[in-house]
Structure formats: structure tokens, C-alpha cells
A and B are shown apart, each in its own frame.
Chain A
């Protein structure tokens, strides 16, 4: 199956600092990637859709100036949490879709990045 990686797998930072999370599709190209967030004991919630070469589309309630998304190439999207605060502590997960043999787009997810803001 297709592989999506994320880096780092976990990060601890001080309040007020910025953190960058990378999402890479390792063996396929993805014009669209997605960023999700998951709080403890909750399900995944879509934050934004990342489009290669254009601006990201953010879900309602997600601050675009706080969560900066850059999709500079067909294999890399980055999420930068700016001026992080403790309430931004969460599990951040990216995904990308690719066409499987048989002709159906399927999304594959990265392993996630656990962010803890002190």
C-alpha cells in the first residue's frame, strides 16, 4: 500500500513558540493532502485541505493564521502551528489520496505527530 510519513512523531515546545510538522507521500504524488486533529478520547476532525501550488482550504473554526499550511510539492505538505498554546496540544495527522490498482482513490494516513505545548 501507499506510505505517508510524518515528522516529527512527537514534539514538546514552550508556549508562544512555533512548530512545523511535515507530511510526505513516500511512493506516490499527491495533489491534495488533508490535515486532521485528534484530541484525547475523541475522533479525528478535519482541519484543512492542502492543495499543491495553491492556498489551503480551512474548516470552519480553524484559524488560518495560526495553522499555516504549505504544499510546496506533490510529495510534501507542512503544517506550522504558530504561537502555540497549551490548548493546541493534540495529535495531528495528515493524509493523502492515491489511485489504487482497480481505479479508486483511497486515502492513506500518516502515523501522526503528538504535540505537547507547555
Chain B
């Protein structure tokens, strides 16, 4: 599976958009980009995933560059409850085990 690179930590003001970047320059054609988050002492929560098109759901938007070498997760209006570690994971399908990196620790500030 392709490796991802994410910033170690980010801060965001409450009510503002949080933009979390992820580099995955070795992604292959059949690999999806998945985003999960983990709030302290809980299991990871699925957020969104995509292959090459931008995606949006009730939680977030996923913007994937045209060459698919990077992506950005956007939380449009961050709240304090969005404080968590966000993991960007690349893989061929959800049927395979996911390889977790270190993720980005997002701290939403009041």
C-alpha cells in the first residue's frame, strides 16, 4: 500500500474551516484515499473516501488533486468535538486491512 505523509499537528479556530493535507505521491491507480479520525480513547471513525473525484458528505469534503498525489480533507465549520487525530490512509479497497500512520492531531481552539 502507498505511504502517506501528514503534518504532525494543526490548530484551527472553532467555526472556521479545517483543511488537513495529505501527501500520497506513490499512490497507484486502484488505490483509494480514506480518511478516519480517532477521538481520544475511542475507535477510529470513518469520515470519507475517494478514488479520483472530489467527494462530499455530511461530515467533510475530500479534495484529490488531478495527479492523485495529494489530497485535502476539509471540515467546513470545525467544532470543539472535531478535536482528534486524523488519519489519511491509501489502499486498494476497504476489504484489506488498513495501515495507519501517525496522523495529524487537530486541535480546535475556542
Contact = CB atoms under 8 A, between A and B. Distances in A.
B94 A43 contact: no
Given A43-B102, A106-B49, A34 B44 contact: no
Given A109-B43, A112-B41, A104 B32 contact: yes
Given A43-B102, A105-B95, A106-B46, 10 more contacts: A4-B43, A43-B100, A44-B98, A46-B97, A104-B49, A105-B93, A109-B36, A109-B43, A110-B43, A112-B41
29 contacts: A1-B46, A6-B43, A34-B98, A36-B100, A43-B87, A43-B101, A43-B102, A43-B103, A44-B44, A44-B98, A45-B100, A91-B41, A93-B43, A95-B43, A95-B44, A95-B98, A97-B95, A105-B93, A107-B34, A107-B98, A108-B46, A109-B36, A109-B44, A109-B45, A110-B43, A111-B43, A112-B41, A112-B42, A112-B43
B41 A114 contact: yes
A105 B44 CA distance: 16
A4 B46 CA distance: 12
A49 interface: yes
A106 B46 CA distance: 8
Interface residues of A, number: 26
B95 A32 contact: yes
Contacts of A1: 46
Interface in A44-77: 44-46, 49
Interface string A3-33: 0101000000000000000000000000010
Given A106-B46, A112-B43, A49 B102 contact: no
